[in-house]
């Protein structure tokens, strides 16, 4: 059939359009509950997953989410051709968290996958460890109080009592655990007992000037972040600013990394630098470097608490 539009001068003929009818999508029941406007049962979650790269991973994940009335807000993935590993981070909302968690677990064994599903924005229970320098501690506590850094600081632990007033100013418990070669094992046992009793999820070494034992590093693997005051792998170990000054470098930096049994060799999360000249003394480098240390450590902690960092062997995948 044709549609006729015309007047006394003539007629214009238009072919009739063929209309394809699509079935209406069934709206999940939870949308209609309590007056069709209640979305209060929706949980916002973050799913992170890693496994050997293979076909069907994204399909399997998204199928589980969609079949349980989930809505994907953001999805990022990366396949590393060197390690053959696949990494994925998904932000989603759903009224059926347990069903999604069970569904992911069901196929995780087939894909040899490890995954984590957590509430978006949930602060991680955290211990901050310090020695005598307070710039990183002060910055973290300020950001936690005023900038919503995603940590719940259950305690500040120091091997010296110097920074107790800083912790007390921010209303945080301070525990002094002195460390000597003779008491190191006992001190670490006390720390582990605190981690277990307080259900601690993250330990931050905010210029904590003690080397953790291999056993402690293995126990807390992937959950301890250190700030090293140099641009690794340059100037490892003690007094890196003095080493940098001796070498006459034109850039100094800081590195936030996960702690491993190998000193200053853990997977790197974040780094930054600032320019210096021949005019700066070692003391000047220290002062400039502290600003970089604060920024780098805070950024690394933020990314970790947002589940943006996934371990990839000796490296990390950091989703922006």
For the segment 18-39, what is each residue's pLDDT rounded down to a tens digit?
544 545 444 444 443 333 334 4
Fold entry, domain 124-318: Rossmann fold (3.40.50)
| Higher pLDDT pick, 2 / 252 | 252
| Higher pLDDT pick, 73 / 262 | 73
pLDDT recorded at residue 36: 33
CA torsion through residues 303, 309, 315, 317, sign: negative
- Burial pattern 138-164, b for ≥16 Cβ within 10 A else e, equals bbbbebbeeeebbbebbbbbbbeeebb
Fold entry, domain 31-119: Alpha-Beta Plaits (3.30.70)
Tens of pLDDT, residue by residue over 213-222, are 999 999 999 9
Please indicate, yes or no, whether the overall pTM of this predicted structure exceeds 0.75: yes
Q: Inform me whether the pLDDT recorded for 86 exceeds 60.
A: yes
Q: Tell me how far the alpha carbon of residue 260 is from its chain's centroid.
A: 17
Same fold, 31-119 and 124-318: no
pLDDT recorded at residue 191: 96
pLDDT recorded at residue 299: 98
Residue numbers annotated as active site: 264
pLDDT recorded at residue 177: 97
Distance CA(63)–CA(100), nearest Å, equals 10
Compute the mean pLDDT over every residue in the chain, rounded to the nearest whole number.
Answer: 88
Domain boundaries, the chain: 31-119, 124-318
Q: Inform me whether the pLDDT recorded for 106 exceeds 90.
A: yes
Q: Could you tell me if residue 41 is left (phi over 0), alpha (psi between -120 and 50 degrees) or otherwise beta?
A: alpha
pLDDT recorded at residue 1: 46
Tens of pLDDT, residue by residue over 125-165, are 999 999 999 999 999 999 999 999 999 999 999 999 999 99
| Residue 228 contacts residue 252 (beta carbons within 8 Å) | no
Q: Inform me whether the pLDDT recorded for 8 exceeds 70.
A: no
Q: Could you tell me if residue 42 is left (phi over 0), alpha (psi between -120 and 50 degrees) or otherwise beta?
A: beta
């Amino acid at each position: 059939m044709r549609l006729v539009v015309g007047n006394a001068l003539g007629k214009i003929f238009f072919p009739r359009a063929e209309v394809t009818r699509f079935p209406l999508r069934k709206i999940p029941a939870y949308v209609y509950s309590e007056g069709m406007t209640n979305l209060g049962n929706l949980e916002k979650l973050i799913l992170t997953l890693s496994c050997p790269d293979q076909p069907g991973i994204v399909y399997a994940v998204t199928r589980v989410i969609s079949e349980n009335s989930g809505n994907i807000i953001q999805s990022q993935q990366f396949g590393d051709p060197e390690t053959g590993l696949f990494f994925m981070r998904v932000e989603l909302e759903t009224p059926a968290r347990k069903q999604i968690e069970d569904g992911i677990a069901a196929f995780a064994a087939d894909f040899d996958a490890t995954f984590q599903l957590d509430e978006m924005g949930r602060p991680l229970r955290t211990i901050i460890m310090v020695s005598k320098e307070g710039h990183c501690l002060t910055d973290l506590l300020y950001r936690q109080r005023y900038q919503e850094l995603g940590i719940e600081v259950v305690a500040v632990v120091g091997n010296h009592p110097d920074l107790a007033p800083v912790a007390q100013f921010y209303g945080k418990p301070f525990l002094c655990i002195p460390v000597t070669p003779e008491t190191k094992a006992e001190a670490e046992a006390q720390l582990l007992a605190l981690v277990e009793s307080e259900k601690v999820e993250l330990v931050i070494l905010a210029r904590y000037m003690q080397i953790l034992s291999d056993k402690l590093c293995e126990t807390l693997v992937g959950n301890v972040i250190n700030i090293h005051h140099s641009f690794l792998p340059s100037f490892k170990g003690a007094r890196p600013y003095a080493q940098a000054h001796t070498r006459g470098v034109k850039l100094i930096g800081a590195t936030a990394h996960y702690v491993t049994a190998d000193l200053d060799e853990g997977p790197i999360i974040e780094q930054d630098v600032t320019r210096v000249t021949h005019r700066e003394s070692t003391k000047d480098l220290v002062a400039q470097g502290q600003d970089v240390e604060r920024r780098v450590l805070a950024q690394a902690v933020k990314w970790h608490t947002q589940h943006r960092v996934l371990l990839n062997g000796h490296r990390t995948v950091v989703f922006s």
